[in-house]
Amino acid sequence: MGCYASHDVDHVERVKRIALFLAEREGANVGIVEKAAEMHDIARGKPDHAAEGARMARKILIAEGYDDEFAESVASCIETHSFSSGKTPESLEAWILSDADKLDAMGAIGVARAFLFSREGGRGIEETIKHFEDKLLKLYGMLHTQTAKKIGFERHRFLEEFYAQIKRELEFKDLMG
């Protein structure tokens, strides 16, 4: 995993906690979900980190003695988790990893991570707001599981309120008289 504050070990741990919570409530294979969450950003910083991460995870898991079916299931989750991959998750476990990663990009943590991510790329406030428009405000509509949708509702509402407020401030519409 690269050394990006927006996608650091804390992010991976949050995604793992969210994914395990979702897996238990949705009846998914917890072992697959846990391993996929732990490894989902191992190729962060590389082009197409999801596809590269899936390849790396497959290789690592086989080397660690996991069977082909387990390794393939984990790799499939990783390959389809990313918003930017354009690939659709095809199993409950993959839906859960995708949902968990998206939930960590929503709400107050999502706002904080958006600004960290922008700083890492040398972008300013206006460009960060474009990131809200291009990605963050679309995430709620991309959630797959009912549990994630329940959690995401409040997080999405917070993103919308933050976005509306920062737009007012940037346009000086919040100034009195």
pLDDT, tens digit, for every residue of 116-154? 989 888 999 999 999 999 999 999 999 999 999 999 999
pLDDT band at 176, cuts 50/70/90? low
Mean pLDDT of the chain: 92
Give the tokens for residue 118. Answer: 């922008």
Contacting residues for 36 by C-beta, under 8 A, at least 6 apart: 19, 57, 73, 74, 77, 78, 81, 93, 94, 97
Concatenating the DSSP letter of every residue in 46-103 gives STTHHHHHHHHHHHHHHHTT--HHHHHHHHHHHHH--GGG-PPP-SHHHHHHHHHHHH
pTM of the model: 0.91
pLDDT on residue 93: 98
**What CATH class is the domain 5-170?**
mainly alpha
Task: Give 48-90 pLDDT, tens digit per residue.
Answer: 889 999 999 999 999 999 999 999 999 999 999 987 777 889 9
Task: Give 92-112 pLDDT, tens digit per residue.
Answer: 999 999 999 999 999 999 999
Listed residue (43, 29, 48) closest to 97, CA to CA: 29
Question: In the chain, what are the domain boundaries?
Answer: 5-170
